[in-house]
Structure 1
């Protein structure tokens, strides 16, 4: 391709992104007026969806609406992707665009973690190492990256002191649109000025992202796998009286343990809430609270789910040994019965979600869904084909675009 042709192609993409950014700016200034016009009011709801996608016109433009941006218009699918949190990076990956991501939070850490699962998807690869770490993005860096879409939530970033509404409008107009939703993680309160905010389930948001990339077929294929898994899970759950008590934790050591409940609203618990395990704390501890071993013993969970247990630099056997060697920790039922299990990450996208649904099913209910293999290190363990809750090859083919819709 000649230099002139390359410059023309880049210019065309940037023109459509400016147009989409102008639409976003209007939505920002109007406070997501499209929601009010539908008469939905300002009450957030996880079940709410915004799938109003305009029929493409002769110039093939299309629009997709998501809170908090409102309606965003595209002339062609984005080719380079800025992300901040891993649920968005995983969505791009699921849609066959993992290698177009140019930024994310803690890229080396999450690249290592995600590859523990990608290892089980034949012919699929992922490498996010060395990307821009975008937890606190700067406008200057966003200009430098020159992304075709900012798959990130402005209402989340607005909680940082160095961003205000004009900054988002500037980037949307001069670089490319914002298109992401993160406060659906646990139905968190938005920053002041963003109160008219809607919450989505993980798969509702993924559907809108797929529309932005014009990858509806990939979404539908993955959603069908997810729906089948959920149906299998729901039809095989034991009665409530036979379900274990459980808690999810994150801890580098036993001096500072972060505890997470399993059934609070939001996509952070999308892989635990469907199983209906009993909250070991009985509602007395809020999610993301710091607890000590005495509090954990008082709760006495049957199962402990250990976040980050799959991270390559984490030794789960050492974590288990810390509990076993402590006079208090060793009395916890989950420790005594060797039911401390690894988990991946709370900010899961659709691919990690499939794996985490499967692992959580086996960790909580081995009699119904098959025994979870003893895990010490390395990638997600190999599960016999007859005990898998989803087809790895099918998922790999969808990511690689080698499937029939």
Structure 2
């Protein structure tokens, strides 16, 4: 391996054909931000300008094209990216949905999320995925980014900038010398980005972001095919939701330690609730309780949820039965309505891509409203349960065909 100086300042590689079109402005801000709204996003953080959100257009006769998303602004590509760096799994999941999962070379906790995603792939005929052994990129090093030499970085430059080892010059160096940034993280909960990026930031729904990522890979047809599946699914959900006064009070928890339970509201803004908000749930915790707060069993008992959704409960390393037993064995926990009625359910991931989003909308609809959408099978371990075809809320084969390019 070349030394760091040679790596960082040497001759540019084939990356020359992929250009990050946005430029740093005075004060370190990035130019431009376009956007809109969809069913799982709310009002944008700032006023949009220019052409339609995420517009992809040929800008030269050589076939280059531009895709726009905050906080990067306009990003220009001369050819479709091949190798793909990611940090968080909502963006890795978008690459997977577009049939590009095997082109991902980095992601946060790759072995963990490979195991979790592969709880769902068995229900998609002919679809496979292997993220094991990839570079774990939660806090990426500049040297490793040079080594990976990725054609595109599906990561939010504002979130990377927020890491202690990164500054604006580093962000620009990656964009100029390796490959463009294209990602958005703070839409997860509509959190505030670093102040240096506040004027260029905007919030997107999961599928709104997916549409823009599809444009990066010139795969708008795949996006449209999957978006049609989602539209049908949301129509089914909306037309069958029970009246509000008949909906159970629910909470999502991270319950590996019952002495300190992470509680998440199901109706907060941001793409982390892209699978629960369409179901219009009744939150066990009122609006005065922030999402992702830590509570003890007594606070949970005071909220007394009718349904508890256990985050990560479908992961192979998680013993969902042990979580249920922990609640039953707790003097306080055993009195919860969710425990008494055996309504503690396993969930997948909040940083979900489009494919997990489809499965998790179906899963959660059945867990919250079994009378309307069919009973959710008792889950203890293994892949996503087999659902009888006439009780499935979306067409698995249709989704598999899109991922495999046979549509």
Distance 2:235 2:53 in 1: 24
Distance 2:206 2:363 in 1: 18
Q: Please, which of 66, 86, 92 is the counterpart of residue 89 of structure 1?
A: 92
> 1:44 maps to which residue?
45
Q: Is the 8 A contact 1:46 1:199 kept in 2?
A: no
Question: What secondary structure sits across from 2:400 in the alignment?
Answer: helix
Question: What secondary structure sits across from 2:58 in the alignment?
Answer: coil
Q: Is the 8 A contact 1:27 1:69 kept in 2?
A: no
Question: What secondary structure sits across from 2:398 in the alignment?
Answer: helix
Q: Is the 8 A contact 2:28 2:196 kept in 1?
A: no
Q: Does the alignment pair 1:309 with 2:313?
A: yes
> 2:127 maps to which residue?
124
Give the C-alpha shift of residue 284 in structure 1. Answer: 3.3
Distance 1:167 1:221 in 2: 38
Q: Please, which of 362, 368, 371 is the counterpart of residue 367 of structure 1?
A: 371
Q: Does the alignment pair 1:15 with 2:13?
A: no
> 2:386 maps to which residue?
382
> 1:402 maps to which residue?
406
Q: Is the 8 A contact 1:45 1:200 kept in 2?
A: no
- Superposition map of 1:244-393 within 5 A: 244-393=248-397
Q: Is the 8 A contact 1:249 1:259 kept in 2?
A: yes
Give the C-alpha shift of residue 226 in structure 1. Answer: 0.4
Runs ≥4 residues deviating over 6 A:
27-30, 45-49
Q: Does the alignment pair 1:220 with 2:218?
A: no
Give the C-alpha shift of residue 357 in structure 1. Answer: 0.3
Give the C-alpha shift of residue 45 in structure 1. Answer: 6.3
Distance 2:386 2:264 in 1: 27
User: 1:243-273 CA deviation, whole Å, 9 max, x = no partner?
Assistant: 1100000021211100000111000001111
- Superposition map of 1:64-103 within 5 A: 64-103=67-106
Q: Is the 8 A contact 1:69 1:178 kept in 2?
A: yes
Q: Does the alignment pair 1:189 with 2:192?
A: yes
TM-score w.r.t. the length of structure 2 is 0.91
Question: What secondary structure sits across from 2:380 in the alignment?
Answer: coil
Distance 1:282 1:177 in 2: 41
Aligned CA distance change for structure 1 residues 280 and 286 (closer, same or farther; 3 Å): same
User: 1:184-238 CA deviation, whole Å, 9 max, x = no partner?
Assistant: 0000100120002100000010000000000000000000000110111011111
> 1:6 maps to which residue?
none
Distance 2:330 2:238 in 1: 37
| Structure 2 unaligned blocks of 5 or more | 1-11, 37-42
Greater mean alpha carbon deviation, residues 338-347 or residues 52-61: 52-61
Q: Is the 8 A contact 2:33 2:48 kept in 1?
A: no
Distance 1:54 1:47 in 2: 18
> 2:63 maps to which residue?
60
Q: Does the alignment pair 1:24 with 2:22?
A: yes
Give the C-alpha shift of residue 240 in structure 1. Answer: 0.7
> 2:4 maps to which residue?
none
Q: Is the 8 A contact 1:187 1:265 kept in 2?
A: yes
Q: Is the 8 A contact 1:47 1:199 kept in 2?
A: no
Q: Please, which of 158, 163, 184 is the counterpart of residue 160 of structure 1?
A: 163
**Equivalent residue pairs, number:** 387
Give the C-alpha shift of residue 47 in structure 1. Answer: 10
> 1:113 maps to which residue?
116
Give the C-alpha shift of residue 50 in structure 1. Answer: 2.1
Q: Does the alignment pair 1:200 with 2:204?
A: yes
Distance 2:348 2:269 in 1: 19
Q: Is the 8 A contact 2:33 2:71 kept in 1?
A: no
Question: What secondary structure sits across from 1:127 in the alignment?
Answer: coil
User: 1:131-184 CA deviation, whole Å, 9 max, x = no partner?
Assistant: 000000011110010000000001111111111111010011100000011110
Distance 2:223 2:76 in 1: 20
User: 1:86-107 CA deviation, whole Å, 9 max, x = no partner?
Assistant: 0000000000000000000000
Give the C-alpha shift of residue 46 in structure 1. Answer: 11
Give the C-alpha shift of residue 362 in structure 1. Answer: 0.2
| Structure 1 unaligned blocks of 5 or more | 1-10
Give the C-alpha shift of residue 35 in structure 1. Answer: 3.9
Q: Is the 8 A contact 2:27 2:196 kept in 1?
A: no
Q: Is the 8 A contact 1:152 1:180 kept in 2?
A: yes
